[in-house]
Amino acid sequence: MNIDSIKDGIVIDHIQAKMAMKIYEALNFNSLDCSVAIITNARSEKMGRKDIIKLDKNIKINMDMIGFIEPNATINIIKDYKLIDKYKVKLPEKIVNIAKCQNPRCITSVEKNLDQIFLLTDKENRVYRCKYCEMSLK
């Protein structure tokens, strides 16, 4: 399979196989006015199988959202068909308004304008807890 290179844009690489659509939906890529290519199940020496997302436009993307979904991803910035920058995504220590607390007694259930804040409490198991009520994110 051949996917054309992009002149200017972003390539999100090293996405665990079958996770590209989750990133696509979480970042609302369907609302962009540019081409978006999603490659699923591509062969990878490092990962076995992986997904890749290509955007033919340089936009601001939420690195915390990508890190929360796929902490091993890389973000490649392309300009004039050349890689000009590469970022290794990591599991964020804190996420804000990416997930919602499920505890009906949490202050965020009553105070609708309050940010949904979760703190990483167990990096190995990727456990986040609500800043306000300490309920773990499922």
Domains in the chain with CATH codes: 9-88 (3.30.70.140), 94-130 (no CATH)
Q: What does the pLDDT look like over 20-64, one tens digit per residue?
A: 999 999 999 989 888 899 999 888 888 899 999 999 999 999 999
State the DSSP code for 126. Answer: T
Which bin fits 125, alpha (ψ -120 to 50), beta or left (φ > 0)? alpha
Write out the H or E segment, with its range, that includes residue 107: helix 107-110
The model's pTM is 0.85
Distance CA 50, CA 5 (A): 18
Torsion of the alpha carbons at 1, 88, 66 and 62, rounded to the nearest 10? -110
Q: What does the pLDDT look like over 9-23, one tens digit per residue?
A: 999 999 999 999 999
